[in-house]
A and B are shown apart, each in its own frame.
Chain A
Amino acid sequence: MYRHTIHHRVYKFADLKVLLGKASPYRSGDELAGLCAGGYEERVAAQITLADVPLKNFLNETVIPYEHDEITRLIIDEHDTLAFSQISHLTVGELRDWLLSDETDCRTLTAIAPGLTPEMVAAVSKLMRNQDLIAVAAKCGVVTRFRNTIGLKGHFSTRLQPNHPTDDPRGVAASIIDGLLFGSGDAVIGINPATDSPAAVSNLLNLMDELRYRFEIPTQTCVLSHITTTLQLVNEGAPVDLCFQSIAGTEKANASFGVNLSLIEEAYQATLSLKRGTVGNNVMYFETGQGSALSANAHFGVDQQTCEVRAYAVARKFKPLLVNTVVGFIGPEYLYDGKQIIRAALEDHFCGKLLGLPMGVDVCYTNHAEADQDDMDTLLTLLGVAGCNFVMGIPGSDDIMLNYQSTSFHDALYLRKVLGLKPAPEFEQWLMRQGIVDEQGNMLPVREHGLLESLR
C-alpha cells in the first residue's frame, strides 16, 4: 500500500501497478481501461508518492506476476545487479534528478542501462516533463550496424516505406526509387506487405535485394511479414536481411500476435546465421506502440505506457538494428489528440533509449485522431532535438496501403537541414557518388539516373 496526504485528504494506492497507472500523464487509453487518476490532484498525489518509491522495490514487486508471464521472468532473470549497483540506493524521484544532472553522461547512461527494468524507466518518465524526456534522451547514444551505421551523434536516418495496396512490384519499386532520389532509406527499405503469403513476400524481398545489389546501396531491406513467414523464408534461402516482428509488453499480448520469446529466439538465430551484414550483425527490427496490450485485452491492469516499456525488454534481448514505436497508428481511443501522441512518442523514445535500444518513431496519426500535419511537424522537430535514430519516409506522408499519415521524404530533408544532421555515413557517401546530394549534403536537381532506367 502506498499513500500520500494533501490537505487532510489521504490518497491510497493499493500497489505499484495502481500507482503507476494513476501517476501517468492523462491519455484516453488509460481512461478506457479505467486505470487513470480520478482527477488532477490525485494524479499529482500519485506522482509525489511514486517519487519516493525506492528503485529496489521494483525488483520485489512485479506488476504482472513472475509465475504468469514470461516477460516478467525475462525482466527479473536477466536483471544486471552489477550495473544496478550504481543507482540501487536511489528512489524514482532521485533517479529523475540523477538522469538530468550534468555529471550523468552518455557513458554513464550506457553503463547503467542493463541495471534498469522497464518498470523503473516507465516510472521515472511519469515524473518528467517533455523537456526532461528530450534532455536525457539527447544524452543517450545507441549505435547499431548491419550494412551501415545507424544512430551516430549528428546523424539521422529514415526507413523508406514504399507500401502499395496490392504489393504491385512496379508500384513498390516506383516509391523506392522516388525515395532513394530524395535521400531516404538508410535505416532500412521496409515494406508492409498487403498479404502475408510466403510467395508474395519472397517476390518483394527479391525485388529489393536485386535493386540494392545492382546499385550497391549500403542499406538493408525488409518485408514486415509475420515472424513465422520470415523464418520459413530464411530456411528456404530467401534474401532476408532483417527479421521483423511486432511485439508487446505482456506474454498474452504477444500470444495475440502469434509470438513468444522462444519463437523470436529461433528466428533471431536463423537470421543471424545468414551473416548478410557487412559492418555489423544487428538483424532484428521490432515495432511497438502504446495501447497494443489493452487492445488485445491483455494488459492485466497495467497502464499502457508501462506495458509499452515492458515490450522493450523483449526487444533488448535480441540486439535489434531498429526499434520503431508506431505511436499514432492505434487510434484516438488510446491516444486522443496531438498532445497525447507527442507526449507518448517522447516517452517511448526516452524509455527505449535509456534501456539501450536504437529507437525510431513512426511520427503518425489516423484521420479519426485530433491531430494534423502541424502536430507531426512539432513532434518530428522535438524528436530530432532528442536524437531520435530514425523516422519513416513515405511519399507525400500518405501511406496508401495502411491508410494513415506518417512523415514524408521531405520531412527528413527538413529535419536534417534545420538541425544540421546527416544520413548514415556509408549511405551519405553513396548519395554523393550517385549525384543525388553534393559534398555538403544538399539535394541536387533530379537528372536522368540509372534507378529511373531500372523501371523501364
Chain B
Amino acid sequence: MKRNIPHEIEPLKALQEFTTARIAIGRVGTSIPLKQSLEFKLAHAHARDAVYSELAVDKLTSSLGQFCVPVLHLHSQVTDRRQYLQRPDLGRRLNDASLNLLQDYRTENDVAIIVADGLSATAVNENTKGLLDALIPLLSGNGFKLAPMSLVEQGRVAIGDDIGSGLNAKLSLILIGERPGLSAADSLGAYLTYNPKPGLTDESRNCVSNIRHKGLSYKKAAKKIFYLISEAFKLQLSGVELKDNAGLIAES
C-alpha cells in the first residue's frame, strides 16, 4: 500500500537510539502518521485484552500440581471484571466458600505460594510455570516447607496475606499479573509478606516485578525472590525494613 510519506524526519531518527519513547515518528499535517497510530492502537489492544483475560485454570492446576502439594481453587468476593476494576476492597478478600476451604488445609508451614490473575491473567498463564520451575527447587532444596498452593480468581495483591494467614504460613508469596503497559501486557509481579495477616499494606511487602520473557528472566527472578525470602526468615520481617543488601534487586 502506498501512502503519503510523512514529513522529513531523518535528522530526528538518530535520536531513537537513546530511548524507547515514541520519538521521531513524523507527522501528517499535525497528526501522527497512520503506521505509528496503528502500532499504538495494537499495543493498547494487547493491554486491554490482557485486563480481560482469564486464568487457564486446568493448565495452571496441572503446573502447580507437579510440586507435590495440594492445589486449592479460591475466589475473591468480586463477582465479575467490571466490579473487580471498581472495588479493589472486594478483590483483597476471599469469599466465604474459599475461607471455609482454607480451614481444611491449615498446617504448620513456611511458604504459601499464591497465584492470582490480578490485572493480567495472560501474564500468569504465560510465566507462572517457568518461574516456579526455577524457584521451587531453591526453596525445597533449602528446607523451606511449602503450604498448599492457591490459584485465585479476581484477586488483588493483599489477598495473599489472607490466604497465607489462613494456611498458617510464616510467609506468603503471591504471583500476580501486573497492570498492563503499552510496552508489555504480560508482566508478572511477585510480592512477599513475612508473618502475613489481613489488613497489612504495601509497606509490609517486598516486590519483584517485570517478570516475563523479554523482561526479568525466570532464573534471575527466582534468585531474587529466594534471596528476599531467605532474608525475611533471617530477620523475621519484610517490607521497607528488608533491604536488598546483596544488590540483587537493582541489577534488573
B19 and A174 within 8 A (CB): yes
B47 and A367 within 8 A (CB): yes
Most chain B beta carbons < 10 A, residue from A28, A182, A395, A452: A395
B9 CB within 8 Å of chain A: yes
- List chain B residues, Cβ under 8 A from A181: 12
B22 CB within 8 Å of chain A: yes
B179 and A366 within 8 A (CB): yes
* Interchain CB contact (< 8 A) of B40 among A31, A177, A396, A416: A396
* Interchain CB contact (< 8 A) of A398 among B12, B40, B48, B89: B40
B198 CB within 8 Å of chain A: no
B21 and A400 within 8 A (CB): yes
Once the chains are docked, how many angstroms separate the CA of A396 from the CA of B14?
Answer: 17
- List chain B residues, Cβ under 8 A from A445: 7-8
Mark interface residues in A151-164 (1 if CB within 8 Å of B CB, else 0).
Answer: 00000000000111
A333 CB within 8 Å of chain B: yes
Mark interface residues in A173-191 (1 if CB within 8 Å of B CB, else 0).
Answer: 1110110011000000000
Assess A448 versus B11: contact at CB under 8 Å? Given A398-B182, A455-B18.
yes
A230 CB within 8 Å of chain B: no
A403 CB within 8 Å of chain B: yes
- List chain B residues, Cβ under 8 A from A398: 21-22, 40, 43, 182-183
A336 CB within 8 Å of chain B: yes
- The interface size of chain A toward B, counting residues with CB under 8 Å, comes to 49
Q: Chain A at the B interface: mostly helix, strand, loop or mixed?
A: mixed
What residue of chain A has the Cβ atom nearest to residue B182's Cβ? Answer: A398
B14 and A452 within 8 A (CB): yes
- List chain A residues, Cβ under 8 A from B189: none
Size band of the interface chain B makes with A: 35 or more
A367 and B44 within 8 A (CB): yes
- List chain B residues, Cβ under 8 A from A447: 8, 11
B11 and A449 within 8 A (CB): yes
A368 and B119 within 8 A (CB): yes
What residue of chain B has the Cβ atom nearest to residue A31's Cβ? Answer: B86
Which chain B residues (1-59) contact chain A, with CB distance < 8 Å? 7-9, 11-12, 14-16, 18-25, 27, 29-32, 36, 40-41, 43-44, 47-48, 50-51
* Interchain CB contact (< 8 A) of B31 among A410, A416, A456: A410
A271 CB within 8 Å of chain B: no
- List chain B residues, Cβ under 8 A from A373: 40-41, 44
Assess A367 versus B181: contact at CB under 8 Å? Given A28-B86, A408-B32.
yes
A405 CB within 8 Å of chain B: yes
A170 and B44 within 8 A (CB): no
Assess A32 versus B86: contact at CB under 8 Å? Given A410-B30, A452-B14.
yes
- List chain B residues, Cβ under 8 A from A400: 19-21, 183
B32 and A446 within 8 A (CB): no
B15 and A333 within 8 A (CB): no
- B217 CB → nearest A CB, Å: 18
B15 and A452 within 8 A (CB): yes
Assess A446 versus B86: contact at CB under 8 Å? Given A367-B48, A403-B179.
no
- A158 CB → nearest B CB, Å: 13
A396 and B20 within 8 A (CB): no
Once the chains are docked, how many angstroms separate the CA of A35 from the CA of B46?
Answer: 35
Once the chains are docked, how many angstroms separate the CA of A174 from the CA of B14?
Answer: 9
A414 CB within 8 Å of chain B: yes
B89 and A168 within 8 A (CB): no
B87 CB within 8 Å of chain A: yes
A275 CB within 8 Å of chain B: no
B200 CB within 8 Å of chain A: no
Once the chains are docked, how many angstroms separate the CA of A170 from the CA of B8?
Answer: 23
- List chain B residues, Cβ under 8 A from A332: 85-86
A413 CB within 8 Å of chain B: yes
* Interchain CB contact (< 8 A) of B86 among A162, A178, A333: A333
B88 CB within 8 Å of chain A: yes
A397 CB within 8 Å of chain B: yes
A177 and B15 within 8 A (CB): yes
A372 and B44 within 8 A (CB): yes
* Interchain CB contact (< 8 A) of B21 among A171, A336, A417: A171
A414 and B31 within 8 A (CB): yes
- List chain B residues, Cβ under 8 A from A416: 30
Most chain A beta carbons < 10 A, residue from B32, B87, B119: B32
A443 CB within 8 Å of chain B: yes
B8 and A174 within 8 A (CB): no
B51 and A367 within 8 A (CB): yes
* Interchain CB contact (< 8 A) of B32 among A168, A367, A396: A396
- List chain B residues, Cβ under 8 A from A408: 22, 32
Once the chains are docked, how many angstroms separate the CA of A178 from the CA of B19?
Answer: 11
B180 CB within 8 Å of chain A: yes
B87 and A32 within 8 A (CB): yes
- List chain A residues, Cβ under 8 A from B22: 395-398, 408
- A373 CB → nearest B CB, Å: 8
- List chain B residues, Cβ under 8 A from A175: 19, 21, 23
A397 and B40 within 8 A (CB): yes
* Interchain CB contact (< 8 A) of B12 among A28, A178, A367, A414: A178
B11 and A443 within 8 A (CB): no
A414 and B21 within 8 A (CB): no
Which chain A residues (377-396) contact chain B, with CB distance < 8 Å? 394-396
* 5 pairs, CB–CB < 8 Å, chain A vs chain B: A28-B86, A366-B179, A367-B185, A370-B85, A410-B31
Given pairs A397-B40, A452-B14, 20 additional interface contacts (CB within 8 A): A31-B86, A163-B21, A164-B21, A171-B18, A171-B21, A174-B23, A178-B21, A178-B23, A178-B24, A367-B180, A367-B181, A370-B85, A395-B22, A396-B21, A396-B32, A403-B183, A405-B44, A446-B9, A447-B11, A452-B12
Residues of A participating in the B interface, judged by any CB pair closer than 8 Å: 28, 31-32, 162-164, 168, 170-175, 177-178, 181-182, 332-333, 336, 366-368, 370, 372-373, 394-398, 400, 403, 405, 408, 410, 413-414, 416-417, 443, 445-449, 452, 455-456
Please name the 5 residue pairs, one residue from A and one from B, whose CB atoms are nearest each other, closest first. Answer: A396-B22, A171-B19, A413-B30, A367-B47, A178-B23
